[in-house]
A = this chain, B = another copy of it.
Amino acid sequence: FDAAAADAARARNAQLTKPPGALGRLEDLAIWYAGWRGDPRPRINRPQVLVFAGNHGVTAQGVSAFPAEVTAQMVANFKAGGAAINQLAQAFGATMAVVALDLDTPTRDFTAGAAMTEDDLVAALAAGWEAVDPQADLLVTGEMGIGNTTVAAALACALFGGGAGDWTGRGTGVSDEGLALKTRVVAAGLALHGDLTGDPLEALRCLGGRELAAMAGAIARARVLRVPVILDGFICTAAAAVLECAEEGALGHCVAGHVSAEGAHGALLARLGKKPLLDLGLRLGEGSGAALAIAVMQGAVACHSGMVTFEEAGVSGG
Protein backbone atom coordinates (compact mmCIF):
# COMPACT_ATOMS: atom_id res chain seq x y z
CA PHE A 1 0.00 0.00 0.00
CA ASP A 2 1.37 3.34 -1.08
CA ALA A 3 0.39 5.84 1.61
CA ALA A 4 1.79 8.76 -0.36
CA ALA A 5 -0.39 7.92 -3.36
CA ALA A 6 -3.42 7.60 -1.07
CA ASP A 7 -2.63 10.97 0.51
CA ALA A 8 -2.29 12.57 -2.91
CA ALA A 9 -5.60 11.01 -3.93
CA ARG A 10 -7.23 12.34 -0.76
CA ALA A 11 -5.92 15.83 -1.54
CA ARG A 12 -7.24 15.59 -5.09
CA ASN A 13 -10.63 14.36 -3.85
CA ALA A 14 -10.95 17.45 -1.65
CA GLN A 15 -10.66 19.73 -4.70
CA LEU A 16 -13.16 18.03 -7.00
CA THR A 17 -16.34 19.84 -8.08
CA LYS A 18 -18.70 18.46 -5.44
CA PRO A 19 -19.49 19.25 -1.83
CA PRO A 20 -17.05 17.51 0.55
CA GLY A 21 -18.06 13.89 1.10
CA ALA A 22 -21.00 14.08 -1.34
CA LEU A 23 -19.91 10.94 -3.20
CA GLY A 24 -19.98 8.97 0.06
CA ARG A 25 -18.30 5.58 -0.09
CA LEU A 26 -17.21 6.17 -3.69
CA GLU A 27 -14.66 8.66 -2.35
CA ASP A 28 -13.20 6.19 0.14
CA LEU A 29 -13.09 3.46 -2.49
CA ALA A 30 -11.21 5.64 -4.96
CA ILE A 31 -8.64 6.69 -2.36
CA TRP A 32 -8.16 3.09 -1.20
CA TYR A 33 -7.79 1.95 -4.81
CA ALA A 34 -5.27 4.73 -5.51
CA GLY A 35 -3.22 3.62 -2.51
CA TRP A 36 -3.07 0.00 -3.61
CA ARG A 37 -2.26 0.92 -7.19
CA GLY A 38 0.33 3.51 -6.15
CA ASP A 39 -1.30 6.09 -8.41
CA PRO A 40 -3.20 9.14 -7.13
CA ARG A 41 -5.24 9.31 -10.32
CA PRO A 42 -5.73 5.70 -11.37
CA ARG A 43 -7.90 4.10 -14.03
CA ILE A 44 -9.45 0.65 -14.15
CA ASN A 45 -8.58 -0.78 -17.53
CA ARG A 46 -8.22 -4.50 -16.98
CA PRO A 47 -10.49 -6.12 -14.42
CA GLN A 48 -10.16 -9.89 -14.23
CA VAL A 49 -12.73 -12.46 -13.12
CA LEU A 50 -11.39 -15.87 -12.10
CA VAL A 51 -13.79 -18.75 -11.53
CA PHE A 52 -12.38 -21.84 -9.81
CA ALA A 53 -14.27 -25.12 -9.77
CA GLY A 54 -13.86 -28.14 -7.53
CA ASN A 55 -15.74 -31.24 -6.45
CA HIS A 56 -16.41 -32.35 -2.90
CA GLY A 57 -16.58 -35.82 -1.39
CA VAL A 58 -19.01 -34.54 1.19
CA THR A 59 -21.73 -34.43 -1.47
CA ALA A 60 -22.05 -38.18 -0.81
CA GLN A 61 -23.85 -37.10 2.38
CA GLY A 62 -26.65 -35.57 0.29
CA VAL A 63 -25.97 -31.96 1.32
CA SER A 64 -26.85 -30.26 -1.99
CA ALA A 65 -30.06 -29.71 -3.92
CA PHE A 66 -28.10 -30.42 -7.14
CA PRO A 67 -26.14 -33.55 -8.17
CA ALA A 68 -22.31 -33.35 -8.16
CA GLU A 69 -22.04 -33.66 -11.94
CA VAL A 70 -23.44 -30.14 -12.20
CA THR A 71 -20.00 -28.77 -11.31
CA ALA A 72 -18.50 -30.05 -14.57
CA GLN A 73 -21.63 -29.13 -16.53
CA MET A 74 -21.42 -25.57 -15.25
CA VAL A 75 -17.71 -25.39 -16.09
CA ALA A 76 -18.70 -26.24 -19.66
CA ASN A 77 -21.36 -23.54 -19.46
CA PHE A 78 -18.78 -20.98 -18.24
CA LYS A 79 -16.48 -21.92 -21.10
CA ALA A 80 -19.32 -21.58 -23.59
CA GLY A 81 -20.30 -18.17 -22.20
CA GLY A 82 -23.77 -19.11 -21.00
CA ALA A 83 -23.69 -18.50 -17.25
CA ALA A 84 -24.53 -15.41 -15.19
CA ILE A 85 -20.87 -14.61 -14.53
CA ASN A 86 -20.14 -14.53 -18.26
CA GLN A 87 -22.81 -11.88 -18.80
CA LEU A 88 -21.61 -9.77 -15.87
CA ALA A 89 -17.94 -9.98 -16.82
CA GLN A 90 -18.82 -8.93 -20.35
CA ALA A 91 -21.14 -6.14 -19.20
CA PHE A 92 -18.39 -4.53 -17.14
CA GLY A 93 -15.48 -5.18 -19.48
CA ALA A 94 -13.69 -7.83 -17.43
CA THR A 95 -11.64 -10.69 -18.79
CA MET A 96 -12.74 -14.05 -17.44
CA ALA A 97 -10.88 -17.30 -16.94
CA VAL A 98 -12.23 -20.59 -15.61
CA VAL A 99 -9.95 -23.00 -13.80
CA ALA A 100 -11.34 -26.51 -13.21
CA LEU A 101 -9.42 -28.26 -10.45
CA ASP A 102 -9.30 -32.06 -10.73
CA LEU A 103 -13.04 -32.38 -11.07
CA ASP A 104 -12.77 -36.14 -11.62
CA THR A 105 -11.10 -36.52 -8.22
CA PRO A 106 -13.36 -34.99 -5.60
CA THR A 107 -11.86 -34.08 -2.25
CA ARG A 108 -12.36 -36.65 0.49
CA ASP A 109 -15.61 -36.48 2.47
CA PHE A 110 -14.51 -34.40 5.46
CA THR A 111 -16.64 -36.46 7.80
CA ALA A 112 -14.34 -39.43 6.99
CA GLY A 113 -10.94 -37.75 6.87
CA ALA A 114 -9.05 -34.66 5.72
CA ALA A 115 -10.55 -33.22 2.54
CA MET A 116 -7.13 -32.73 0.96
CA THR A 117 -3.60 -34.02 1.30
CA GLU A 118 -0.86 -31.46 1.74
CA ASP A 119 0.05 -31.94 -1.91
CA ASP A 120 -3.56 -31.33 -2.95
CA LEU A 121 -3.68 -28.13 -0.90
CA VAL A 122 -0.40 -26.80 -2.26
CA ALA A 123 -1.41 -27.59 -5.83
CA ALA A 124 -4.72 -25.77 -5.44
CA LEU A 125 -3.13 -22.73 -3.78
CA ALA A 126 -0.59 -22.64 -6.62
CA ALA A 127 -3.30 -22.92 -9.27
CA GLY A 128 -4.94 -19.83 -7.82
CA TRP A 129 -1.65 -17.99 -7.48
CA GLU A 130 -0.76 -18.66 -11.11
CA ALA A 131 -4.15 -17.77 -12.52
CA VAL A 132 -3.91 -14.08 -11.64
CA ASP A 133 -3.06 -11.89 -14.62
CA PRO A 134 -0.08 -9.75 -13.53
CA GLN A 135 -1.48 -6.97 -15.75
CA ALA A 136 -4.90 -7.00 -14.06
CA ASP A 137 -5.85 -3.91 -12.10
CA LEU A 138 -8.87 -5.36 -10.27
CA LEU A 139 -9.64 -8.97 -9.39
CA VAL A 140 -12.81 -10.93 -8.71
CA THR A 141 -12.48 -14.51 -7.46
CA GLY A 142 -15.50 -16.72 -7.88
CA GLU A 143 -16.26 -20.38 -7.54
CA MET A 144 -18.40 -23.30 -8.60
CA GLY A 145 -18.56 -26.55 -6.68
CA ILE A 146 -21.65 -28.54 -5.77
CA GLY A 147 -21.55 -28.96 -1.98
CA ASN A 148 -19.28 -26.02 -1.28
CA THR A 149 -21.60 -24.03 0.99
CA THR A 150 -21.32 -27.02 3.34
CA VAL A 151 -17.56 -26.87 3.02
CA ALA A 152 -17.46 -23.10 3.58
CA ALA A 153 -19.68 -23.43 6.65
CA ALA A 154 -17.35 -26.02 8.16
CA LEU A 155 -14.32 -23.89 7.36
CA ALA A 156 -15.85 -20.71 8.81
CA CYS A 157 -16.85 -22.57 11.95
CA ALA A 158 -13.33 -23.98 12.33
CA LEU A 159 -11.80 -20.52 11.88
CA PHE A 160 -14.16 -18.50 14.06
CA GLY A 161 -15.82 -20.97 16.44
CA GLY A 162 -19.50 -21.10 17.32
CA GLY A 163 -21.83 -23.95 16.47
CA ALA A 164 -22.35 -25.62 13.10
CA GLY A 165 -25.83 -24.13 12.99
CA ASP A 166 -24.42 -20.61 13.14
CA TRP A 167 -22.62 -21.03 9.82
CA THR A 168 -24.76 -23.44 7.81
CA GLY A 169 -27.27 -22.11 5.29
CA ARG A 170 -29.48 -23.24 2.45
CA GLY A 171 -26.95 -22.99 -0.38
CA THR A 172 -28.60 -23.61 -3.73
CA GLY A 173 -31.89 -24.05 -1.90
CA VAL A 174 -32.21 -27.09 0.35
CA SER A 175 -35.36 -27.74 2.40
CA ASP A 176 -35.63 -27.45 6.19
CA GLU A 177 -34.78 -31.12 6.36
CA GLY A 178 -31.80 -30.62 4.06
CA LEU A 179 -30.58 -27.74 6.20
CA ALA A 180 -30.76 -29.91 9.32
CA LEU A 181 -28.76 -32.61 7.51
CA LYS A 182 -26.13 -30.08 6.34
CA THR A 183 -25.77 -28.81 9.87
CA ARG A 184 -25.23 -32.33 11.21
CA VAL A 185 -22.64 -33.00 8.50
CA VAL A 186 -20.76 -29.79 9.33
CA ALA A 187 -20.83 -30.67 13.03
CA ALA A 188 -19.52 -34.17 12.26
CA GLY A 189 -16.62 -32.74 10.27
CA LEU A 190 -15.71 -30.35 13.05
CA ALA A 191 -15.88 -33.12 15.63
CA LEU A 192 -13.62 -35.39 13.57
CA HIS A 193 -10.89 -32.81 12.98
CA GLY A 194 -10.84 -31.22 16.43
CA ASP A 195 -9.87 -27.66 17.26
CA LEU A 196 -8.24 -25.98 14.25
CA THR A 197 -8.75 -22.35 15.27
CA GLY A 198 -5.01 -21.78 15.62
CA ASP A 199 -4.10 -23.27 12.25
CA PRO A 200 -6.13 -21.78 9.42
CA LEU A 201 -4.26 -23.53 6.59
CA GLU A 202 -4.83 -26.87 8.28
CA ALA A 203 -8.51 -25.98 8.60
CA LEU A 204 -8.53 -25.26 4.87
CA ARG A 205 -6.84 -28.62 4.17
CA CYS A 206 -9.10 -30.70 6.41
CA LEU A 207 -12.45 -29.02 5.75
CA GLY A 208 -12.02 -26.89 2.61
CA GLY A 209 -11.79 -27.71 -1.04
CA ARG A 210 -9.66 -27.06 -4.07
CA GLU A 211 -11.61 -24.06 -5.36
CA LEU A 212 -11.49 -22.44 -1.93
CA ALA A 213 -7.74 -22.96 -1.72
CA ALA A 214 -7.33 -21.60 -5.22
CA MET A 215 -9.27 -18.45 -4.32
CA ALA A 216 -7.03 -17.99 -1.27
CA GLY A 217 -3.97 -18.42 -3.49
CA ALA A 218 -5.26 -15.89 -6.02
CA ILE A 219 -6.12 -13.35 -3.32
CA ALA A 220 -2.65 -13.74 -1.80
CA ARG A 221 -1.02 -13.27 -5.20
CA ALA A 222 -3.10 -10.16 -5.83
CA ARG A 223 -1.73 -8.71 -2.60
CA VAL A 224 1.82 -9.17 -3.86
CA LEU A 225 0.89 -7.63 -7.21
CA ARG A 226 -1.02 -4.78 -5.49
CA VAL A 227 -4.17 -5.71 -7.37
CA PRO A 228 -7.28 -4.77 -5.35
CA VAL A 229 -9.73 -7.64 -4.94
CA ILE A 230 -13.52 -7.64 -4.73
CA LEU A 231 -14.72 -10.49 -2.53
CA ASP A 232 -17.82 -12.35 -3.62
CA GLY A 233 -20.17 -14.33 -1.39
CA PHE A 234 -20.00 -16.76 1.49
CA ILE A 235 -17.63 -19.31 -0.05
CA CYS A 236 -15.19 -16.76 -1.43
CA THR A 237 -15.23 -14.90 1.88
CA ALA A 238 -14.60 -18.10 3.87
CA ALA A 239 -11.61 -18.83 1.65
CA ALA A 240 -10.31 -15.28 2.09
CA ALA A 241 -10.80 -15.54 5.85
CA VAL A 242 -8.10 -18.22 5.96
CA LEU A 243 -5.60 -15.54 4.96
CA GLU A 244 -6.86 -13.03 7.50
CA CYS A 245 -6.76 -15.63 10.28
CA ALA A 246 -3.23 -16.56 9.25
CA GLU A 247 -2.09 -12.94 9.25
CA GLU A 248 -4.16 -10.04 10.48
CA GLY A 249 -4.53 -7.37 7.82
CA ALA A 250 -3.92 -9.81 4.97
CA LEU A 251 -7.18 -8.70 3.35
CA GLY A 252 -6.42 -4.98 3.37
CA HIS A 253 -6.44 -5.06 -0.43
CA CYS A 254 -9.94 -6.58 -0.49
CA VAL A 255 -13.37 -4.98 -0.44
CA ALA A 256 -16.61 -6.92 0.09
CA GLY A 257 -18.55 -6.74 -3.17
CA HIS A 258 -21.89 -7.72 -1.68
CA VAL A 259 -23.61 -9.48 1.14
CA SER A 260 -25.25 -12.62 -0.11
CA ALA A 261 -28.54 -14.16 0.94
CA GLU A 262 -26.64 -17.22 2.18
CA GLY A 263 -27.38 -17.11 5.89
CA ALA A 264 -24.01 -16.60 7.50
CA HIS A 265 -22.32 -14.34 4.96
CA GLY A 266 -23.19 -11.15 6.81
CA ALA A 267 -21.76 -12.57 10.05
CA LEU A 268 -18.60 -13.66 8.27
CA LEU A 269 -18.09 -10.21 6.74
CA ALA A 270 -18.62 -8.65 10.15
CA ARG A 271 -15.87 -10.88 11.59
CA LEU A 272 -13.56 -9.56 8.87
CA GLY A 273 -14.65 -5.95 9.40
CA LYS A 274 -15.84 -5.67 5.79
CA LYS A 275 -18.91 -3.62 4.91
CA PRO A 276 -20.45 -4.86 1.65
CA LEU A 277 -20.97 -2.55 -1.32
CA LEU A 278 -24.17 -4.24 -2.50
CA ASP A 279 -27.08 -6.03 -0.85
CA LEU A 280 -29.31 -7.35 -3.61
CA GLY A 281 -30.19 -10.81 -2.33
CA LEU A 282 -27.82 -12.69 -4.63
CA ARG A 283 -26.72 -16.20 -3.59
CA LEU A 284 -25.34 -17.65 -6.79
CA GLY A 285 -21.59 -17.61 -6.31
CA GLU A 286 -19.51 -17.77 -9.53
CA GLY A 287 -18.18 -14.35 -8.53
CA SER A 288 -21.49 -12.81 -9.57
CA GLY A 289 -22.00 -10.37 -6.70
CA ALA A 290 -18.41 -9.20 -6.87
CA ALA A 291 -18.63 -8.82 -10.64
CA LEU A 292 -21.60 -6.51 -10.21
CA ALA A 293 -19.51 -4.50 -7.76
CA ILE A 294 -16.85 -4.02 -10.45
CA ALA A 295 -19.22 -1.34 -11.73
CA VAL A 296 -19.23 0.42 -8.36
CA MET A 297 -15.44 0.47 -8.37
CA GLN A 298 -15.44 1.70 -11.97
CA GLY A 299 -17.84 4.48 -11.03
CA ALA A 300 -15.78 5.47 -8.01
CA VAL A 301 -12.52 5.57 -9.90
CA ALA A 302 -14.04 7.27 -12.95
CA CYS A 303 -15.39 10.09 -10.78
CA HIS A 304 -12.14 10.47 -8.86
CA SER A 305 -9.86 10.51 -11.86
CA GLY A 306 -12.14 12.12 -14.42
CA MET A 307 -13.72 15.02 -12.54
CA VAL A 308 -12.20 18.47 -12.64
CA THR A 309 -11.33 20.60 -9.62
CA PHE A 310 -13.17 23.72 -8.47
CA GLU A 311 -10.26 25.78 -9.77
CA GLU A 312 -10.16 24.08 -13.17
CA ALA A 313 -13.92 24.52 -13.60
CA GLY A 314 -14.12 28.06 -12.21
CA VAL A 315 -16.77 26.96 -9.70
CA SER A 316 -17.12 28.86 -6.41
CA GLY A 317 -16.35 26.78 -3.31
CA GLY A 318 -18.73 26.38 -0.38
User: Which residues of A are in contact with B by a Cβ distance under 8 Å?
Assistant: 16-26, 65-67, 69-70, 73-74, 76-77, 80, 82-84, 86-88, 90-92, 172-173, 261, 277-284, 288, 291-292, 295-296, 298-299, 302-303, 306-308, 312-318
Contact A77 B306 (CB under 8 A): no
Given A24-B283, A76-B314, A318-B173, is A302 in contact with B88 using a C-beta cutoff of 8 Å?
yes
19 A-B pairs besides A20-B173, A22-B172, A74-B315 with CB distance below 8 A are A17-B77, A17-B83, A21-B281, A22-B173, A23-B84, A23-B288, A24-B280, A24-B283, A66-B316, A66-B317, A73-B313, A74-B313, A87-B302, A87-B306, A87-B307, A91-B295, A173-B318, A291-B299, A295-B295
Cα separation A145 to B313 with both chains bound (whole Å):
17
Query: A258: shortest Cβ distance to chain B, in Å?
Result: 9
Cα separation A43 to B38 with both chains bound (whole Å):
37
Cα separation A288 to B299 with both chains bound (whole Å):
10
Cα separation A278 to B67 with both chains bound (whole Å):
35
Can you pick out 22 interface pairs between chain A and chain B where the beta carbons lie within 8 Å of each other? Answer: A17-B74, A17-B77, A18-B284, A22-B282, A22-B283, A66-B318, A69-B316, A73-B313, A76-B313, A76-B314, A77-B315, A80-B308, A80-B313, A82-B307, A82-B312, A86-B307, A87-B307, A90-B302, A91-B299, A288-B303, A291-B299, A295-B295
B261, B295, B307, B318: the one within 8 Å of A83 (CB): B307
Given A296-B292, A306-B87, is A314 in contact with B73 using a C-beta cutoff of 8 Å?
yes
Q: Cβ of A291: which chain B residues have Cβ within 8 Å of it? A: 299
Query: A314: shortest Cβ distance to chain B, in Å?
Result: 6
Cα separation A298 to B25 with both chains bound (whole Å):
21
Q: Cβ of A92: which chain B residues have Cβ within 8 Å of it? A: 295, 299
